[in-house]
Copies of this chain bind each other. A is one copy, B any other.
Amino acid sequence: MLTFWRHGYETTSVADLTAAMGVTAPSLYTAFGDKKLLFLEAVRLYAGDPDVMARTIGDAPSALEAARDLMTAAATAYTGEETPRGCLLASATASGSAASCDVQQAVADIRRGVQRRLDERIQRDIADGALPLTTNPAELSGLVMAVIQGMSVLARDGASRASLLATVQAALRAWPGMAAER
């Protein structure tokens, strides 16, 4: 997972993987099938259980809290000392040949799933009166997703954890009810 995270899907060779895992190529293939299946396994390990993610968003006190948690967790994870910079999902399949478009789709599906959960959470807040009726859910969920994915690029470029957390705080000022002025 760490090797794919650091170097991407197509740009990581099976030789890199066997070296990192300390196993031989035949062991890898009997255990995981092929490189694509191993990558998808690494993605599952990285993303965690989708139900847990859905529950985390659903159980947050408000959509605002959910968005804040998501972005803060991303900013922290992308600047960890023990892990590669940025987001495995954002960088590993950001580009690729036509041969890997199904892998790109699988990763995109995860992103779309997160956005959908967040979208639904925002709609619930609107229905509950916690957010104004004029709130545009897609607009807000899109902003949160863009900030999360964008921070991955900034983290790879060397941005500090503090600067990313500041970016999160700035993004939250776009939320309905958060004063833009100090």
Q: Which residues of A contact B (CB under 8 A)?
A: 7-13, 16, 90-92, 94-98, 100, 104, 108, 111-112, 132, 134, 136, 138-140, 142-143, 145-154, 156-159, 163-164, 166-167, 169-182
Contact = CB atoms under 8 A, between A and B. Distances in A.
A141 to B, nearest CB: 9
Nearest to A108: B157
Contacts of A12: 97
A100 to B, nearest CB: 8
Contacts of A175: 180
A107 to B, nearest CB: 9
Number of copies: 2
A143 B156 contact: no
B145 A150 contact: yes
18 contacts: A8-B95, A10-B11, A90-B94, A92-B95, A94-B95, A94-B156, A108-B158, A111-B157, A132-B182, A140-B170, A142-B154, A142-B164, A142-B166, A143-B147, A143-B170, A143-B171, A146-B153, A149-B152
